[in-house]
Chain A
């Protein structure tokens, strides 16, 4: 029973490089989320997907794109990484809005 799986766990990028963070859940959840966590800032919502086929912007979407590939998978893409995107990224899923969320273990991204 894997829950929410994020890959990779660690990544170092050079400024301007692109990469995709992968997230998959095996709980048949409808809602999925991407957050970033910075020291002293708590978690800030980047994008979310209330159901398969829909995505919406959160608080800090600039510099990111997402794809809800199917019900299981929700990926986050950085097209041109910047040092300001150095952060820990968390993916989460929920059976539906109005219920508690399950989190992955996070991806620690450093942009140099």
Chain B
């Protein structure tokens, strides 16, 4: 079964608003990664947070990791139409398999 599960499954927001999505996972991890997928395209790596880190920033992205709750969140601030995409979390555990969740579909309305 898949390691990570994203919540919500879908999210619709107005341009300029913030978008938050969550990821829960089941077993211990070395790191957690977030990816974006535009319709019909391959996935693009956004950010990686290691198990000993609690928060990480990259441009308009903010990722948190709570290993005690086995959960992570991705915040996109000041969203733009170009942020419309599906977002996936992926966990990297001791077995070195990069396992993905089902994703959150984000729609940014103009």
Contacts and interface: CB of A to CB of B under 8 A. Distances in A.
B60 interface: no
Interface in B18-44: 30-31, 33, 35, 40-44
A58 B42 contact: no
Given A48-B96, A98-B30, A98-B92, A103 B44 contact: yes
B98 A42 contact: no
B45 A101 contact: yes
A35 B30 contact: no
A105 B2 CA distance: 22
Secondary structure class of chain B's binding surface, majority of residues:
strand
Interface string A32-66: 01010000111111001010000010110000000
Contact of B42 (A50, A56, A59, A103): A103
Interface residues of A, number: 28
A31 B56 CA distance: 25
16 contacts: A40-B102, A41-B102, A42-B2, A42-B88, A43-B88, A45-B97, A45-B98, A50-B96, A59-B2, A90-B43, A97-B30, A98-B30, A99-B48, A101-B90, A103-B42, A104-B42
Given A42-B100, A59-B99, A97-B96, 19 more contacts: A4-B42, A35-B100, A40-B102, A42-B2, A42-B88, A42-B102, A44-B2, A44-B100, A45-B99, A45-B100, A50-B96, A97-B92, A98-B30, A100-B45, A101-B43, A101-B98, A102-B45, A103-B42, A106-B40
Interface of B: 1-2, 30-31, 33, 35, 40-45, 48, 88, 90, 92, 96-103
